[in-house]
Amino acid sequence: MANHLFLPLISPMLAAALALIFTRTKTRNVARGIVLTSVVFNLAYSLWLVWTVATTGIQVTQAAGWEAPFGITLVADGASALMLCVATLLMLVTMSYSFASLDPGYENFFYYPLLLLLLLGVSGAFLTGDIFNLYVWFEVLLLASFGLMTLGGSRAQLEGGLKYVVLNLLGSTAFLMACGLLYGTVGSLNMAHVAERMQSVNNPGIVTVIACLFFFAYGGKAAILPLFFWLPTSYHTPPVAVTAIFSGLLTKVGAYSLYRVLGLVLQDELVRLAPFVLVIAGLTMVVGVFGAMAQMNVRRILSFHIISQIGYTIMGLGLASAVGLAAGLLFTVHVMIVKTALFFIGGAAEQIYGTGDLKKMGGLAQREPLLAIFWFLGILSLAGIPPMSGFFGKLALLQAGVNQGAIGISVIAAFTGILTFFSMLKIWNEVFWKKSYGDMSKLPRVTPGLLLPGALLVMISLALGLGAGVLVDYSQMAGMQLFDRAGYIASVCGVQGCEAIVEAALR
Amino acid sequence: MIFLLAIAIGSLFAGAVYLILRRSVAKLILGLMLLSHAVNLLIFTMGDGGVRRGALPIVDYYTGEVMPNTTDPLVQALILTAIVISFGITAFIMALAYRATQAMKTDDLDDMANTDRL
């Protein structure tokens, strides 16, 4: 029993409730202090959890002491601990960026409690070991994100928000449908138990239907090819801090759930569907990056790049092996950090000019050289150029792809990397490099509060690239755990398996 | 009974898809509501009375015998959770759609393409 797994859920819940009391402008420093304390605590805890999982293995606890297949299980293995850690880090950085960049009006309307509830939903989704519970955490994080997306109520936000809400709701409905069918087929929703019973289900048709429904539901949240339309239409409308944290967390929760449910629970089905998954991954990469090339707005370009990068994550899934999942995980961690950093830096440029339109920007390299340096390092990392972390993420994916004979997708992935660099250079040229048309002396200077969050994340990406060995080893361990069905069942239900516990209870 | 339920679920799905594909925001919301009802009924049929007919719903703690006149409580718990969640989200969408149609001065989804074009 590792009851400490409840701590990262209790802390943001309590802090969100407390921060609600202090939303007025007069007491806003109290609210900031409370939310910061909670997030710093979560970060410290998740770092400790990463270390604990690496040294002592999978951590499991059962809610209210109900034995595994009957109650709700919380499980922290390598993948969930790593994702939890990165998500909390991003939340901490986003908080500090919000302190510097946000209108006070937002703080009066429950901005920080919503951020904490988002963190709560994300942490819960990473830690849960029960599929219906995962659905509930998804709804928690979606409702918080709905609030954040539309907070402010500008015209664009309402319009983008409506599309975002409706398309995500359709995904949730498919998720619920898949839960129902899964329960009807195997009679359990505990991931370990489902994984165990899946091996003896002799009805391949319904299992394929369930796997495809899950793929549709999580794929919609992760913004894979035919389901990404909610993303570029809504991500440029809310404040920069909100877009940044969304880009870091939301699509990645979808990707993580794909890894967990298809990679672990419905593993045999994933192996069967792998060629289709790889095709979708390739198309997502290419369509995302071409979409980005056609845009002329900083945040819309970055939004399309989210889609393109999700293609790489899905490629890791489509390789359907421990090595593939490990590589995909490594890449996802890198892209969460770098993408958020780029949104922060691009957003800082946007705040200086008061617009995200590339045609109206220019000349920022001369005026804000630090911002330009960090932006350039960031796009090097996104494109996958050593020594930044992106290089190792892509290298691992390409190695796994080539070793498994998936040459086509590997070529597309390498090609997309070049196109990514090309379309990021467009922002570099337009915003930083070209001459400014207007008089720049009246524009505001970048404040440390706007610069430092992005700079910090870029430095972390550089550090992860220079010390890549640690993260590569860890992600390989996490990939092994993620693909090791027997090991997962044994750590949740004991070596006898979940069925033995059910038998014992019936006797 | 299961056939009647199957027909009902199918009709609800068909109606929901039809309404969601219309251009009006109000019909879109009605479609989403129908969809959530359809899924709830689908989950309902997944209990021991439907697909898993004959599965043990509840057994006596001491004797291990199947209790008479019991039904699978888990599907009902799932549906209850789903109803509460979809209720909350529907309320949110209605408020959002109301504000959006006010701000855009239109109920037609085809006119809501400004954020795509920017």
Nearest CA in chain B to A164: B93
For residue A335, is pLDDT > 90? yes
Q: Is the pLDDT of residue A82 over 80?
A: yes
Q: Is the pLDDT of residue A366 over 60?
A: yes
Whole-number percent of chain A with pLDDT over 70:
100
End-to-end CA distance of chain A: 25
Chain-wide mean pLDDT for chain A? 91
Lowest mean pLDDT among A68-72, A206-210, A288-292: A68-72
Percent of chain A with pLDDT over 90: 68
Q: Which of A280, A397, A281, A405 is nearest to A333 (CA)?
A: A397
B56 contacts A132? CB cut-off 8 A = no
Task: Tell me what the mean pLDDT of segment A109-120 comes to.
Answer: 93
Query: What's the whole-number mean pLDDT along residues A237-259?
Result: 93
* Residue A69 touches chain B, beta carbons under 8 Å: no
CA dist A421 and A381 (Å) reads 9
CB–CB of A283/A317 below 8 Å?
no
pTM (2 decimals)?
Answer: 0.94
Chain A residue numbers with beta carbons less than 8 Å from the beta carbon of B42 are 177, 180-181
State the average pLDDT over residues A408-421: 92
Nearest to B103 among A155, A166, A185 (CB): A155
Taking CA A113 as the corner, what is the angle to CA A109 and CA A117, rounded to the nearest 5 degrees? Answer: 135
Mean pLDDT, residues A325-334: 95
Closest-CA residue of A relative to B114 is: A156
User: A279-299, pLDDT tens digit by residue?
Assistant: 999 999 999 999 999 888 899
- Measured between beta carbons, which residues in chain B are less than 8 angstroms from residue A163? 112, 115
**Entry field: residues in chain B:** 118
pLDDT reported for residue A64 = 86
Q: List CB contacts (< 8 A) between A179 and chain B.
A: 43, 78
Question: Which residue of B36, B46, B64 is in closest CB contact with A183?
Answer: B46
Quote ipTM for the complex: 0.92
Q: For position A152, what pLDDT does the model report? A: 85
> Per-residue confidence of chain B (118 residues) as pLDDT tens digits?
788 889 999 999 999 999 999 989 999 999 999 999 999 999 988 877 666 666 666 777 777 677 777 778 888 899 999 999 999 999 999 999 999 998 888 888 888 877 777 5
A408 at interface of B, judged by CB pairs closer than 8 A: no
Integer Cα distance of A25 and B61 in angstroms: 57
Rounded Cα–Cα distance for residues A200 and A419 (Å): 45
CB contact A467 to B (< 8 Å): no
Residues of B with Cβ-Cβ distance to A156 under 8 angstroms: 114-115, 118
- For chain B, give every domain's residue range: 2-52+71-111
pLDDT of residue A276: 95
Element (H, E) at B88: helix B73-104
pLDDT of A357 > 70? The answer is: yes
pLDDT of residue A328: 95
pLDDT at position A434 over 70: yes
Contact: B46, A236; criterion CB under 8 Å: no
Contacts of A166 in chain B (CB under 8 A): 28, 32, 93
Q: What is the pLDDT of residue B55?
A: 64
- Please give the Cα distance from A210 to A229 (Å, whole number): 23
Alpha helices (H) along A57-130: 78-101, 104-108, 111-127
Task: Kindly tell me if the per-residue pLDDT of A458 is higher than 80.
Answer: yes
Q: What would be the CATH architecture of the domain defined by B2-52+71-111? A: Orthogonal Bundle (1.10)
Residues in B lying within 8 Å of A, measured between beta carbons: 20, 25, 28, 32, 35-36, 39, 42-43, 45-47, 50-52, 55-56, 59, 64, 74-75, 78, 81-82, 85, 88-89, 92-93, 96-97, 99-100, 103-104, 112, 114-116, 118
